[in-house]
Amino acid sequence: MIPVRFEIITIFPEYFIQFKSIGTIGRAIENGLIQINTHNPRDYSKDKHRSVDDYPYGGGPGMVMKPEPVLECLDSLGEPAPFRILLSPQGELWNQNLALHLSQKTERFALICGRYEGFDERIRIAGADLDISIGDYVLSGGEAAACVVIETMSRHISGVVGDSESVTSDSLGGNLLKHPQYTRPPEYRGLRVPEILLSGDHRKIQKWREEMSIENTKRKRPDLFTCKDDLKGDKKSVCRGSEDPDEF
């Protein structure tokens, strides 16, 4: 099996050392299912200070990432070019559906991490197939976002999560949150495990789980539930990330 490759464009390659060696991601690398490589735009800077940022034209606070080091770093990845994802608070909001779609799209991805106050717009225009935001807040750089994107996509790659059912039953699969879960002991601090889970009746347990999953979603994330109804009514646009992946 060919590993899925993630090429991270970052001026902080050391950020990913722990990420690559721990847990699900560490095992997936060890088992040859994924590869994570880092590429530093500083190595493509032409000036003696190896600078990758500059003042914004028109003035204003902060520095902007220069186009040449990032675009030349991307060029160095060769042909065929990977699917290029720019991590930015202006991007499409990341979610489970988008993670699933992208994980099936191709076998090589570039993740472009920004620092400073933002990117020269030509990086976005000439260097990205898709902009992704992991949430409506501003990080100091795209590195944490790259970890989120890689980890959520990797969970959908065959063999990465031991029991594939645990991925399909994850919260947010099909826009539903997961049902509540319990393990031993059957009673703790006066709180009892629901009787039905101790009954051994798998058909009833399955039905209970489905009902709880719907109830959980309605109560905690009514927005997801609305999205589910809209999908049935063919109002796809309100449900971000459920679109046809070939659109990108």
Question: Which residues are tagged catalytic?
Answer: 89, 117, 155, 170
On whether the CB atoms of residues 143 and 88 are closer than 8 A, the answer is no
| Euclidean distance between CA atoms 192 and 190, whole angstroms | 6
Question: Binding segment for ligand ADE among 44-52, 87-95, 103-111, 232-240 (CB under 6 A)?
Answer: 87-95
Among 6, 23, 79, 68, CA closest to 43: 68
Q: Which is nearer to ligand ADE, 133 or 213 (CB)?
A: 133
Q: Which of 134, 153, 172, 224 binds ligand ADE (CB under 6 A)?
A: 134
Where does residue 112 rank: exposed (0-12), middle (13-18), buried (19+ CB within 10 A)?
buried
Q: Which of 95, 96, 133, 154 binds ligand ADE (CB under 6 A)?
A: 133
Q: Which of 26, 32, 62, 135 binds ligand ADE (CB under 6 A)?
A: 135
Question: Binding segment for ligand ADE among 35-43, 59-67, 83-91, 228-236 (CB under 6 A)?
Answer: 83-91
Among 98, 137, 110, CA closest to 4: 110
- Give the rounded distance of the alpha carbon of 192 from its chain centre: 36
> Using CA atoms in the order 28, 32, 33, 38, what is the torsion angle rounded to 10 degrees?
80
Nearest approach in angstroms of CB 99 to ligand ADE is 14
Nearest approach in angstroms of CB 142 to ligand ADE is 4
Nearest approach in angstroms of CB 131 to ligand ADE is 9
Nearest approach in angstroms of CB 44 to ligand ADE is 21
| Euclidean distance between CA atoms 140 and 119, whole angstroms | 13
The string of DSSP codes covering 14-61 is GGGHHHHHSHHHHHHHHTTSEEEEEE-GGGG--STT---EEPPTT--S
Does 69 bind ligand ADE (CB under 6 A)? Our answer is no
Question: Binding to ligand ADE (CB under 6 A): which residues in 136-195?
Answer: 137-139, 142, 145
Query: Angle CA(192)–CA(197)–CA(202) in degrees, nearest 5?
Result: 175
Nearest approach in angstroms of CB 136 to ligand ADE is 7
Question: Binding segment for ligand ADE among 26-34, 134-142, 194-202, 209-217 (CB under 6 A)?
Answer: 134-142
| Euclidean distance between CA atoms 180 and 73, whole angstroms | 46
CB atoms < 10 A from the CB of 240, how many?
Answer: 14
Question: Binding to ligand ADE (CB under 6 A): which residues in 94-123?
Answer: 114
- Interface mask (CB under 6 A) for ligand ADE, residues 5-24, using x and -? --------------------
Binding footprint of ligand ADE on the chain (CB under 6 A): 87-89, 114, 133-135, 137-139, 142, 145
